[in-house]
Amino acid sequence: MSEITTAAPFDVRDRLAELVRSGTTDLAPSIKQVPLDDYRDPERHAEEIEKIFRSRPLCAGPSAAIAEAGDFTVRDVLDRSLLITRDDAGEAQVLLNYCTHRGALIAEGEGCAKRHACPYHGWTFDPRGTLVGIPGAEGFDELDRSTAGLVRLPTVEAHGFIWYMLDPKGTIDIEADLGSFGAELSRWGYDAFWKVSTMDLEFPGNWKTTVEAFSETYHFPYVHGGSIGPGVVSNTSTFDLFDGHHRLGAALAQMRDFAAGTIDFDPDWQTSLLYWKCPDLMLANTPFGVEVVQITPTLDVGRTRLRHTMLARSAPTTDEEREVAEVMSYPAADAIRLEDVPTLATCARGLAEGEHGYATIGRNEPGVQNIHNQVARLLG
């Protein structure tokens, strides 16, 4: 890979070294007990969907996932199929992926296309969603084509990500939503990163349990003990809030040597900053790039979707660099698919079927506590 230009912040360094030396972690003031119904009550779930997912800005994905004009990717979010594109003017668009003729899904997967032809009768749309072609056009000579484009959702691109509202009539104010978190995101220059791979998963469990799993390193020795776990000093993290969104500074194994004063500081190999942008975006920075993890509910209180996009810090310049980037992405994706998800599927049973009343979030899990605090705040 080309030379890494590090943007990893130094402001967690000394706090994290002190936590490693003293064998502790940033602590919340008290434990938090979350009623099991918060994970399994369909009415509560419907309220979360309406007040959080249908009325607040969500993340369509990293800008780097559709870097060039014509690039597109298709995702399901709740009960919507989204066609996310970059148009000829370079603007990101989030379109409803439903043909305006009779509703067929226009596109699937990801790729690059100047035109999207509906597989049913061949109506053709450009990456802005404009209807540009109708086979047998005389059959539709009365149709005002300007009213038959794909539905465009309110969309804005900022800080290396594409943000949108699921409600076509909504208005989006991403800076108000991000607050001080926007500047923290911008420090990384994510818009210049390069997409290595995309993985989509759907599995049992309430969406919050998956967000929780990306907000602590407490589980690493148990769930990831045979893979990525030894690279992390588990249960040892700084915690900071940015207007409700949060950042964990996780200690990597080499932080032990820096904390002991035997090596110089190297942010990439000693710290990993993990972010939660409420409600649907998690970031895990690695020495090579960043894992972008998008977590959304389904209409079913007990099923979750996850999209994992691996970004490298820069585009490869040779085939060999490309291969290295791909190989480097495997352990992170495998840890989610083969370790986190099967564990979360068992949590899904315990939270749905359990008679123990509450899940208990420790003082050592301030990120997990914050997820529940923010959801409660947004539900009012």
Task: Tell which one of 27, 31, 46, 104 touches ligand FES (CB under 6 A).
Answer: 104
Cα–Cα distance list, 187 to 6, 240, 291 (Å): 10, 16, 16
Answer yes or no whether residue 212 interacts with Fe ion by CB under 5 A: no
Give Cβ neighbours of residue 54 (< 8 Å, ≥ 6 apart).
78, 166, 167
Residue among 3, 6, 11, 13 nearest 271 (CA): 13
- Answer with the entry of ligand FES, Fe ion, none that 349 interacts with (C-beta below 5 to 8 A by kind): none
Cβ atoms 51, 166 nearer than 8 A: no
Strand 152-153 to strand 155-158: parallel, antiparallel, or no bridges (unpaired)?
unpaired
Alpha carbons 251 and 128: distance in angstroms, whole number: 43
Strand 71-77 to strand 110-112: parallel, antiparallel, or no bridges (unpaired)?
antiparallel
Alpha carbons 298 and 214: distance in angstroms, whole number: 19
Nearest to ligand FES of 125, 218 (CB atom):
125
Tell me how far, at minimum, the Cβ of 84 lies from ligand FES, in Å: 19
Answer yes or no whether residue 216 interacts with Fe ion by CB under 5 A: no
Alpha carbons 83 and 81: distance in angstroms, whole number: 7
Tell me how far, at minimum, the Cβ of 241 lies from Fe ion, in Å: 22
Tell me how far, at minimum, the Cβ of 73 lies from ligand FES, in Å: 20
Nearest to ligand FES of 82, 211 (CB atom):
82
Answer yes or no whether residue 99 interacts with ligand FES by CB under 6 A: yes
Give Cβ neighbours of residue 220 (< 8 Å, ≥ 6 apart).
228, 229, 232, 234, 235
Nearest to ligand FES of 120, 358 (CB atom):
120
Residue among 178, 368, 145, 136 nearest 274 (CA): 368
Task: Tell which one of 248, 340, 359, 361 touches Fe ion (CB under 5 A).
Answer: 340
Tell me how far, at minimum, the Cβ of 100 lies from ligand FES, in Å: 8
Tell me how far, at minimum, the Cβ of 337 lies from Fe ion, in Å: 11
Answer yes or no whether residue 95 interacts with ligand FES by CB under 6 A: no
Total residue length of the chain: 380
* Positions 118 through 147 that interact with ligand FES (CB under 6 A): 118, 120-123
Tell me how far, at minimum, the Cβ of 101 lies from ligand FES, in Å: 3
- Answer with the entry of ligand FES, Fe ion, none that 340 interacts with (C-beta below 5 to 8 A by kind): Fe ion
* Residue 270: Cβ within 10 Å count: 26
Alpha carbons 285 and 149: distance in angstroms, whole number: 38
Nearest to ligand FES of 139, 230 (CB atom):
139
Nearest to Fe ion of 134, 274 (CB atom):
274
Nearest to Fe ion of 280, 339 (CB atom):
339
Contact window for Fe ion (CB under 5 A) among 102-110, 232-240, 267-275, 338-346: 338-346
- Answer with the entry of Fe ion, ligand FES, none that 168 interacts with (C-beta below 5 to 8 A by kind): none
Across the beta sheet with 281-285, the strand order is: 194-204, 303-312, 289-297, 281-285, 271-277, 245-252, 232-242
Residue among 166, 67, 157 nearest 111 (CA): 67
Tell me how far, at minimum, the Cβ of 111 lies from ligand FES, in Å: 19
Task: Tell which one of 30, 37, 88, 102 touches ligand FES (CB under 6 A).
Answer: 102
Nearest to Fe ion of 120, 222 (CB atom):
222
Tell me how far, at minimum, the Cβ of 117 lies from ligand FES, in Å: 8
Which residues lie near ligand FES (CB under 6 A)?
A: 99, 101-104, 118, 120-123
